[in-house]
Structure 1
Amino acid sequence: MQKTRRFSPAGLILAVCAALPLSSFGASLDDQLLDRLSAAAPKIDTTVLKTAINASRCAVSNGVQMPERLAVIDFSLPSNQERLWIFDLERGELLLRDLVAHGKNSGNFESTAFSNVEGSYQSSIGLFQARESYYGKHGYSLRLDGLEPGINDLARQRAIVIHGADYVNEDWVSKYGRIGRSHGCPAVDNQIIKRVVDNLKGGQLVFKYYPNQEWLHSSGFLKCDNKTLAGKNLKKSG
């Protein structure tokens, strides 16, 4: 029987609310957007969601393409929990919530170690921009560009992409108590990969969270300090 938890029917959530696009970001509007998305996804940690919104606002204010959708991955949760959310920012809706893998050297049941180093087989955190879709060894997949120098900006070189995997599903959770692990990619269930890629390709934002104190206190997107953003590394469209 097909699970219905993954996708929210269009127009069902917050249908009467007016859109609050990222172009309108400001302190009060950020709070309104946070409230709307939190209502649409009550199981997401509001601190994680607020951090993702703040990082996205900072990226847009520094020239990154205006996103229509935002994916949030909370790596502070164990892998047997649905820790990927995709939001429609213009409509204030939750489009998807599901499982997502971390790298095999980031941890077993939980992810605790992260890297920007090629060959580390670890996940990386921070703000990314989803770029082009392609067909590769894992089938339909999506390339990611890391926007944070020293944190995730080697994502493309490392081939950190979103792809489907047969080890990301509830059967694995039932059998092993967790899902399988990747070589650092945020792999998802093969059943939803097309929906994920089609919603994120072409410049949408992907935010991967973990309470790493060094990153939380030094990230240019979280501090929104123009001096630390290294603008030449920002992936601008057009």
Structure 2
Amino acid sequence: MKWMNLRISKKRYVLPFLALTSLFSLKVSSVGKKNSGVIAPVAVAPVVSASAALYENLSLDSLGLSREAYEYAIVGYDRLLKEGKLRNDDILSIVDFSLPSTQKRLFVIDMASGKLLFNSLVSHGRNSGKNMATDFSNSPESFKSSLGFYVTGNTYRGQHGYSLRLEGEEEGINNNAMERGIVMHAADYVNETLGRRQGYIGRSLGCPAVPVGLHKKIISKIQNGTCLFMYSPDVKYLSASKILRQQQQAA
């Protein structure tokens, strides 16, 4: 998959570790006396794209986030941004279901400041698998997680306390999220101690539940129109996602 250049709108991606001199190749032109010593740019192209640089700068690979999950997340984020569906384009959240439930597989990235805000445990649906999530569904009462791109909605207080509504953006893949009651909420079964004891954390009815001690901070940061991507190297999803196919066709 080719790297794409992020669309820079009013926000500027902060990559302090890149020196300006690394962005351009320069040479000295010596054609005639008048032009002798003139510096002329011959390649006006970044050595590394903003998206690739951010992945490296945050050491996301060392934290377990797969490069493929990150690349696909950037594709969908950019697509939703261009379509005007993101009311807050500062934040990109990724759930990497290629990782086991005992590993911190929720990544919340501030795209404006270039910072990783949260790296947390997150649950998958009880019928999606035990420690690894391998089976996904968009069907009500399936008690499985749904992959793909979501736009976060508003918060409310429900059965699980402070929770966050999620709007699925992919027809046939996760568009039933609202009907199914797929939300982000706190759960005491999402904790490292339980994971170590039984080999997997507790599972939900399909919701991406997060630890009790972090849920308010995470939900408050990603609410109201940010991009959330739930990833798995699932062949069925990757071939069915129109968001990803649109970008591949454009490339």
Q: TM-score, structure 1 length as denominator?
A: 0.81
Matches of 1:124 and 1:29, distance apart in 2: 36
Matches of 2:69 and 2:230, distance apart in 1: 9
Equivalent position to 2:175, from 144, 153, 168: 153
Matches of 2:241 and 2:48, distance apart in 1: 19
Deviation at 1:175, TM superposition (A): 1.3
Q: Write out aligned runs for 1:78-227 (5 A).
A: 78-224=100-246
* Other-structure match for 2:77: 56
Deviation at 1:180, TM superposition (A): 0.3
SS where residue 185 of structure 1 aligns? coil
SS where residue 134 of structure 1 aligns? strand
Contact 1:80 1:179 in 2 (8 A): yes
Deviation at 1:220, TM superposition (A): 1.4
Contact 2:166 2:183 in 1 (8 A): yes
Deviation at 1:30, TM superposition (A): 9.0
SS where residue 198 of structure 1 aligns? helix
Deviation at 1:176, TM superposition (A): 0.9
Contact 1:38 1:46 in 2 (8 A): no
Change in CA separation of 1:34 and 1:54 when aligned onto 2, cut-off 3 Å: same
Change in CA separation of 1:30 and 1:141 when aligned onto 2, cut-off 3 Å: farther
Matches of 1:137 and 1:222, distance apart in 2: 34
> Is 2:37 aligned against 1:37?
no
**What residue identity is the alignment partner of 1:76?**
S
SS where residue 171 of structure 1 aligns? helix
Change in CA separation of 1:222 and 1:30 when aligned onto 2, cut-off 3 Å: farther
Deviation at 1:29, TM superposition (A): 10
Decide which structure has the larger Cα Rg and report it: 2
Matches of 1:62 and 1:151, distance apart in 2: 19
Matches of 2:233 and 2:15, distance apart in 1: 33
**What residue identity is the alignment partner of 2:74?**
I
Q: TM-score, structure 2 length as denominator?
A: 0.77
SS where residue 133 of structure 1 aligns? strand
Contact 2:99 2:132 in 1 (8 A): yes
After the TM superposition, which parts of structure 1 deviate over 4 Å for at least 4 consecutive aligned residues?
27-30
Cα deviation digits, residues 168-223 of structure 1 (max 9, x gap): 01111121111000000000000000011111111011000011112212311112
Q: Which moved more, 1:62-71 or 1:87-96?
A: 62-71
Contact 2:15 2:53 in 1 (8 A): no
Identity of aligned residues (%): 37
Greater relative contact order, per chain length (Cα 8 Å cut-off, separation 6+) = 1
RMSD: 2.2
Q: Specify every segment of 5 or more residues in structure 1 that has no aligned partner in the other structure, as ranges.
A: 1-13, 19-26, 228-238
Change in CA separation of 1:33 and 1:15 when aligned onto 2, cut-off 3 Å: closer
Cα deviation digits, residues 6-61 of structure 1 (max 9, x gap): xxxxxxxx77369xxxxxxxx96993123213421332211110110011111222
Q: How many residues align?
A: 206
**What residue identity is the alignment partner of 1:56?**
Y
Matches of 2:159 and 2:200, distance apart in 1: 24
